[in-house]
Amino acid sequence: MPYTNTKVLAAVAIVAIALSPATSWACACGCGVFDISTSSMMPTGPGGNVWLEYDYLNQSQNWAGTHRAPKEDNDDRQIRTDLYTAGAQYMFNRSWGAQITVPYWNRNFTSFDDDSATQATYNANSFGDVRLKGIYSGLSDDMSTGITFGVKLPTGSFTTPNFDRDTQIGSGSTDALLGVYHMGALPVGMPFDWFVNGEWSHAVSIQDHYRPGDEMDAAAGIYYEGFDLGKVGKISPLAQIIGSTRRHDGGQNANPDNSGYTRLLVGPGLEYRVGDVKLYSDIETPIYQNVNGDQLVSPISFKFSVGYSF
């Protein structure tokens, strides 16, 4: 189990606070939470792993401020997203590693046209924005604390007809990424491990007069060390809290009055390991939401992944 160092914990907390935006507004999707992983993706030694992940989000409720609002107040009626992500991570030694994630999106967008008084649904299918990251895990001897840094590339489409810029698959921007993580163990005799993980993104280059708001996503969770099933594997339940905050979008093609949010979600999950194969699934439900203007939110989201370590 990872060793808990109070000085390291204090440093991580200070960095996480420093990365948090001063205000908290953002676009309708909030899909940045899909990029925050549990401790199962955090490195514990040299070597690599690959994984496939599926996320589902159905934004069907209109929200204003901290409460649900009439659907007639928002011309957007539904945004349903199926997100498939292929990822690979490799630690060259106990201090340095690299990661790449390649997403593919299937998104249906339903909107009401005031002029024609009709409702229409549009579909987009394409690869999204690729993320390239470096990993430094040399802050502690047991690799329990690390820093991630990298870039989100503008590889996703942002010109699909009938989609608003904040509902496009790609943002069109090149973003700088900076994150921290830590894994720890509760006192001896308590069979639980815990983790914290956070990432901040900032657009450094934009296209077509649209700048996505700065975003901070973080998760904190606790794992039961697992029910050992012998040769058939090990099951570990977990509970986590996920926070997400984002500033207003900017630019001539943005909608700053209806972009920006702060959200807090709970995400119970289950991890199953057998040999070098790992299965993971969770259900995420919001317990607090504060959005700017009128935005579509999802009452629940799902995640499932399968990974292989080598």
Residue with tokens 């991630």: 148
Checking if the pLDDT of 25 tops 80, the result is: no
Please tell me the predicted confidence (pLDDT) of residue 115.
76
Terminal-to-terminal C-alpha distance of the chain: 20
Which of 214, 136, 218, 217 shows the shortest CA–CA distance to 175? 214
Please tell me the predicted confidence (pLDDT) of residue 187.
84
Parallel/antiparallel/unpaired status of strands 215-224 and 67-68: unpaired
pTM of the model: 0.86
Domains of the chain: 6-106+113-309 (2.40.128.130)
When pLDDT is averaged across residues 5-13 and rounded to a whole number, the result is 44
Within 13 Å of residue 121, how many CA atoms lie on the same side as its CB?
A: 8
Question: Kindly report the CA angle at 152 between 279 and 100, in degrees rounded to 5?
Answer: 40
Q: pLDDT tens digits for 111-163? A: 988 777 889 999 999 999 999 999 999 998 889 999 999 999 999 999 999 99
When pLDDT is averaged across residues 99-108 and rounded to a whole number, the result is 97
Which residues sit opposite 290 in a β-bridge? 262
- Under 8 Å CB-to-CB from 216, ≥6 apart: which residues? 19, 20, 21, 198, 199, 200, 201, 243, 244, 245, 246
Please tell me the predicted confidence (pLDDT) of residue 15.
39
Q: Among residues of the chain, what percentage have pLDDT more than 70? A: 87
Which of 106, 109, 87 shows the shortest CA–CA distance to 98? 87
* Measured distance CA(111)–CA(105) in Å, rounded: 19
Please tell me the predicted confidence (pLDDT) of residue 44.
80
Checking if the pLDDT of 34 tops 90, the result is: no
Q: pLDDT tens digits for 50-78? A: 999 999 999 999 999 999 999 999 999 99
Checking if the pLDDT of 283 tops 50, the result is: yes
